[in-house]
Structure 1
Amino acid sequence: MVFPDPSEARIAFEEYGSQVPFSLSSLSKPKQQEDRVNKYLVMHPVFDVREYIQMDELYMSEVAPKDAAMIIFNGDLFKMRSGGIGGYYPDFFFPKLAQVRRRFMPMVETAYYLRVFRGPPVGALYREYPGPWQILRAVNGGRFEVLWEQQQQEPPKQEFVLRVLQSAGPPPVMTKPSEEENLPEGWKSAVDQETGKVYYYNANTGESTWEPPAV
């Protein structure tokens, strides 16, 4: 498992709480692995563009010669695909990264994108490539329903995702009639799928709160 730098690898080791059953390494100070290692999990190289370059160097020097697999967990990898003048990393300002993009990215097969919004309401931005981007809302039973989907290269903005989730509102929860009667007009209650706690939302305004709104 490869982290961007040694300090992050150390934090991961401490969080695990015991001797890990795999090797920990970093992109900035890579550790030579045994020949039997055939899978490299690269964890979120995104903070610095040099991490993309170091990822490419690791692949070319160690992963490819073994015919091993590199699995990259990175929600912003789509940024590396766009070059040219209007991309996130213009070729003129990042010439070495441009070389990496042209050589490395054609070998990358993107599998999925997932970003969870803890809410309330609980939802997610999801894409299973090459399918469309989807905004999902949590429903009972640990399931999700599709609120919005569209085929496009880049993910929708966070503000748009939140607006879709809040305007749709969460699935309603059964409450006592007296409890519903005590809520102000336009307000309803629901259960947070992650915590099991009841919260309150106004589908007209997009507001949500853990505390009962004042009448």
Structure 2
Amino acid sequence: MSPSLSIATTVSPASLAGTLVSNSKNVLCSLHWKNNDATKTNRNLKFRVCSVSGGYNTSVENVPFPRDYVELISQAKEAVELAMKDEKQLMEIEFPTSGLASVPGDGEGATEMTGSINMIREFCDRLLAPEKARTTRIFFPEANEVKFAQNTVFGGTYFKLDYLTKPSLFEDFGFFERVKMADRVKPEDELFLVAYPYFNVNEMLVVEELYKEAVVNTERKLIIFNGELDRIRSGYYPKFFYPKLAALTKTLLPKMETVYYIHNFKGQKGGVLFRCYPGPWQVLRRTRNKYICVHQQESMPSLKEVALDILASA
């Protein structure tokens, strides 16, 4: 018996048209939208809800790939709000800042970090009421980044800006002094946001300390923003030389909910791994004016699996 299919969609005028085709193994989504100019207004998320019965049973909520960074920030904000309602305490947001189709390294390192700072400010303004700024502590990799943020996009705000590490006398050799998190956190803090903790390998170890000492057994929330955690997941850092960092794949990362994620794959068989909480992980094939969902699943696939198995055979 062929599977039956029911679809419920919410579509904004002249912005989204979609078709969905299903077989017993995969749900194939084709999303198309017109090229509208970005506006500085909040957009409601358009959820696509599909239920398939028969040989393949699933219930999914799909969010379309963002048209621009305005829509991306709106989607990320909605995803975090939903995750917080589900009592998620440790969350990850990851997306490229040099363009929605870019990959890490496409832009110069300092430029990508500056892009993240701007996105963090926009995200915080969307997510938080003004009075919550005083109870939000944003951790940057080190003190110089805090000064830069204070002198640029965070100047004149009430957000608490802090840092994870501080330079030592051996900074030129890659050594930094860790900051004891218990000394940085204040009783009134409610939300921690950690900005791009990948410049130094010690930064994520400090993030783990922050989570253990200031988040566990509290009502606080912690968001890691563009931490390039795929480096740790994929074994980029050899376990022999970085055993503590490798251990995070068994201690910290399993506790984390990746609420918003974009990773691009270039080449002839390129595509995108995309997730917006609470929806599934989607592998999208990019064409000129639309994205086609060629695979989706509930758990995060490895980047190797997406590149060599899913996209290669799509």
TM exceeding 0.5: yes
* Distance (Å, rounded) in 1 between the aligned partners of 2:258 and 2:164: 21
CA spacing shift, 1:132–1:54, aligned 2, 3 Å:
same
Say whether the 8 Å CA contact 2:139–2:164 is kept in structure 1. yes
How far does residue 56 in structure 1 lie from its aligned partner after superposition? Answer: 0.6
Amino acid across the alignment from 2:274: R
Instruction: Summarize deviations over 1:26-51 as a string: whole Å, max 9, x none.
Output: 11145623222111111111122211
Equivalent in the alignment of 2:48: none
Q: Which of 229, 234, 256 is the equivalent residue of 1:77?
A: 229
How far does residue 20 in structure 1 lie from its aligned partner after superposition? Answer: 1.8
CA spacing shift, 1:10–1:111, aligned 2, 3 Å:
same
Equivalent in the alignment of 2:204: 52
List alignment gaps of at least 5 residues for structure 2.
1-137, 166-178, 265-270
Moved over 3 A (4+): 135-139, 147-152
Equivalent in the alignment of 1:103: 251
SS at match of 2:284: strand
How far does residue 61 in structure 1 lie from its aligned partner after superposition? Answer: 1.7
Equivalent in the alignment of 1:4: 141
Amino acid across the alignment from 1:146: Y
Q: Which of 236, 246, 255 is the equivalent residue of 1:88?
A: 236
Q: What TM-score comes out, normalization by structure 1 length?
A: 0.55
How far does residue 108 in structure 1 lie from its aligned partner after superposition? Answer: 0.5
Equivalent in the alignment of 1:64: 216
SS at match of 1:4: strand
SS at match of 1:57: helix
Say whether the 8 Å CA contact 2:197–2:227 is kept in structure 1. no
Does 2:265 align with 1:112?
A: no
Q: Which has the higher contact order (CA 8 A, sep 6+)?
A: 2
Say whether the 8 Å CA contact 2:196–2:224 is kept in structure 1. yes
* Distance (Å, rounded) in 2 between the aligned partners of 1:138 and 1:41: 35
Does 2:164 align with 1:14?
A: no
Amino acid across the alignment from 2:249: R
Map 1:1-215 → 2, pairs under 5 A: 1-16=138-153, 18-28=155-165, 29=179, 32-74=184-226, 76-82=228-234, 87-114=235-262, 125=272, 127-128=274-275, 130-134=280-284, 136=286, 145-147=290-292, 149-150=294-295, 152-154=301-303
Identity among equivalent positions (%) equals: 30
CA spacing shift, 1:6–1:80, aligned 2, 3 Å:
same
Amino acid across the alignment from 2:160: S
How far does residue 59 in structure 1 lie from its aligned partner after superposition? Answer: 1.2
Amino acid across the alignment from 2:291: V
CA spacing shift, 1:14–1:98, aligned 2, 3 Å:
same
Q: What TM-score comes out, normalization by structure 2 length?
A: 0.39
How far does residue 128 in structure 1 lie from its aligned partner after superposition? Answer: 0.6
Amino acid across the alignment from 1:76: E
CA spacing shift, 1:17–1:106, aligned 2, 3 Å:
closer
* Distance (Å, rounded) in 1 between the aligned partners of 2:294 and 2:284: 4
Q: CA RMSD in A?
A: 3.1
How far does residue 154 in structure 1 lie from its aligned partner after superposition? Answer: 1.1
Count residues in correspondence.
143
Say whether the 8 Å CA contact 1:2–1:27 is kept in structure 2. yes
Say whether the 8 Å CA contact 2:139–2:162 is kept in structure 1. yes
Q: Which has the larger radius of gyration?
A: 1
CA spacing shift, 1:148–1:4, aligned 2, 3 Å:
same
How far does residue 21 in structure 1 lie from its aligned partner after superposition? Answer: 1.9
Q: Which moved more, 1:27-36 or 1:71-80?
A: 27-36
* Distance (Å, rounded) in 2 between the aligned partners of 1:16 and 1:110: 26
How far does residue 13 in structure 1 lie from its aligned partner after superposition? Answer: 1.3
